[in-house]
Amino acid sequence: MKLYGIANCSTVKKARDWLAQHDIPVEFHDFKKHGLDAETAQTWLHQADWAKLVNRSGLTWRGLPDAQKQLVCDQASALAVMLEKTSVIKRPLLEQNGKLLHIGFDAAAYSAIFNL
């Protein structure tokens, strides 16, 4: 099981704390340290709508030029911005064996995923 995100993100910290409190082992993949490969991002885009994966309310998105924001309108353009600016990806992403289990963090959803 892998958790993707950025170490200093408050939502990622909540997810990591929740997983630790429930003794659920997870490998943490920090976008800032390890980046993101196109294959992984494409796998996510096949499982979830690009609009759910791109965090359009975050600081990174708001910092993009308006012209670049307007170009993000489909999977291909979302992939490009996700690879260029990994901070634009909604965090955290919980994945197991290539299957995207959850986007973001919600304690109730995590409880349901892990049958707790």
Residue boundaries of the structural domains of the chain? 2-113
> Per-residue pLDDT for 116 more than 90?
no
What is the DSSP-derived secondary structure letter of residue 115? T
What residues act catalytically? 9
**In sequence order, what E strands does the chain have?**
2-5, 27-30, 93-96, 99-103
Residue 49's SS3 state is coil
Residue 28's SS3 state is strand
Which is more confident, 116 or 99? 99
Mean pLDDT of 110-116: 94
> Per-residue pLDDT for 113 more than 90?
yes
Q: Write down the CATH number for the domain with range 2-113.
A: 3.40.30.10
Report pLDDT digits (tens) over 20-55. 999 999 999 999 999 999 999 999 999 999 999 999
- Dihedral Cα 97, 101, 105, 108, nearest 10 deg: -130
